Structure 1
Amino acid sequence: MTDVMAGAEPFFMQGKGPAVLVLHGFTGTTQSMRYLGEELHRRFGFTVSGPRLRGHGTSPDDMETTGYLDWLASAEQALHELAGQGTKVFVTGLSMGGTLTLNLAARFPNIVAGAVPINGAAGIFDGAMAELVSDGAAPKRVPGIGSDIKAAGVKELAYQEVPVACLRQVHVLIAATESLLRKVSCPTLAIHSREDHANGRRIAQEVSSNDVRLLWLDNSYHVATLDNDKDLIVERCGRFISEIAGAAPG
């Protein structure tokens, strides 16, 4: 069994209100979502589950044995476990976790009561990255992509190198999810850093929900859940979930 890095462990907090699934990003860990999860539980009383996606929080060698179906399976398992408690389930996630959030919302509309993608990727790729994954002669590994954070002295727990095979896998996940956006019918709060390369406006425009909100973050980079706007994310995410859970039929 591959050892899990300290700080990358899954977490679960039982509450009395709605349940929230919080999903970390590509090559990242639960460390990036722990503050959001803990504060949603502490301030709002929600049940919170933060699973570790397969191949993450261990080693790049371990990650290289996984692909997008494994990452989806980790998220789906946690979603169904929360749904088994009989409460309304909401999903939020950072970066690829935001992509997974939208994917689950599209494919499990009878389970997901609301979606909150945070700097979620949904169909627009960085040109250099697209060239890399299209190059058959690309190296096996490239430098890590974590810790894109504006706040001084804050570091994301993420891999220092990335398997290119997994970069190809995440591109498939993003493209597939982009094609599913019209199937997202639940209330959606898209949170997007202005200084980021993700797809907040695209998400807000493409989902079919009648309740779509877009929150711009003015003081954070990509890993916004650890950045200067982390408390704003907690507050707006918590209010959104409370409002939707209270308004929806039991």
Structure 2
Amino acid sequence: MVPWGRHLAALGYGVAVPRLPGHGTTWQELNRTEWADWYAEVERSFDKLLADCDQVVVGGLSMGGGLVLALAAARPRDVAGVVLVNPAVNTVRKDVLALPVLKHVVASFPGIINDIKKPGMDEHGYTRTPLKAAHSMMSTWRRVREELPKVTAPLLLFRSAEDHVVDPSSGRIIVSRVSSRDVTERILENSYHVATLDHDADMIFEESVQFVRRVTGP
């Protein structure tokens, strides 16, 4: 997320890239947090930006996409726009049905990191996926999906044609259920899941700038 944030900041925008609880430390710490903790940090950062800036556009990658959609649904009058990169709000995988039981038996599974087509890139993710945290995320998705009709802000969605982490069902659900009248979906042909560090990153950054300029206006 940092290169994306730096690109916007270099153009003079006020930018916050919050470190969510349990992130950037250890997977064990992440396993002691849940969706409510992550959302609270997103909302705290949003409120600070709202106090300092004229208008605020929110953006998120993967799980972050679900978090900012939840925020946009809860506070439609405050969110000027939403930018999503391979957002996660659903999965068609059947093995996740075992998470409610597995999380009490096994602490973690091998991590799903660096799904990046561009050689030499590293997203600095955890080598293990904490199951309690994963279950908290996925069990909240249903509520996020139910709240999507409350999202009215302009929306820009970037979705990788080949994503080994989030399946296409999330994008389809978001586009079909939000109430936003201004919706743009862009397919990324040369990036995997972590597209903000991949071949299409520059396109994401530049089109995000154009989107922010358009939805915030003079």
Work out whether residues 140 and 165 of structure 1, in 8 Å CA contact, stay in contact via their aligned partners in 2.
Answer: yes
Distance 2:79 2:192 in 1: 27
1:204 alignment counterpart: 175
Q: Are 1:40 and 2:17 counterparts? A: no
Work out whether residues 97 and 120 of structure 1, in 8 Å CA contact, stay in contact via their aligned partners in 2.
Answer: yes
* TM superposition shift of 1:202: 2.3
Work out whether residues 154 and 182 of structure 2, in 8 Å CA contact, stay in contact via their aligned partners in 1.
Answer: yes
Work out whether residues 201 and 214 of structure 1, in 8 Å CA contact, stay in contact via their aligned partners in 2.
Answer: no
User: Tell me, what secondary structure is at the counterpart of 2:52?
Assistant: coil
Q: Are 1:238 and 2:213 counterparts? A: no
Q: Deviations over 1:77-136 (max 9, x none)?
A: 0000101114100000100011111111100112111001110012234223x1341444
After TM superposition, the score normalised by the length of structure 2 is 0.93
Unaligned stretches of 5+ residues in structure 2: none
User: Tell me, what secondary structure is at the counterpart of 1:50?
Assistant: coil
User: Tell me, what secondary structure is at the counterpart of 2:81?
Assistant: strand
2:192 alignment counterpart: 221
Distance 1:174 1:94 in 2: 15
Number of residue equivalences: 213
Percent of paired sites with the same residue: 38
Where in structure 2 are the equivalents of 1:127-166 lying within 5 Å?
A: 127-128=94-95, 130-136=96-102, 138-166=105-133
Work out whether residues 183 and 207 of structure 1, in 8 Å CA contact, stay in contact via their aligned partners in 2.
Answer: yes
Q: Deviations over 1:201-237 (max 9, x none)?
A: 3211111011111011000000000011000000111
Distance 1:47 1:103 in 2: 22
Of Structure 1 and Structure 2, the greater helix share is in 2
The residue identity in structure 2 corresponding to 1:218 is E
Report which stretch shifted further, 224-233 or 195-204. Answer: 195-204
* TM superposition shift of 1:138: 4.6
Aligned-CA RMSD value: 1.5
The residue identity in structure 2 corresponding to 1:242 is R
Of the three residues 33, 51, 54, the one matched with 1:84 is 51
User: Tell me, what secondary structure is at the counterpart of 2:15?
Assistant: strand
Unaligned stretches of 5+ residues in structure 1: 1-32
Q: Are 1:176 and 2:143 counterparts? A: yes
Work out whether residues 14 and 53 of structure 2, in 8 Å CA contact, stay in contact via their aligned partners in 1.
Answer: no
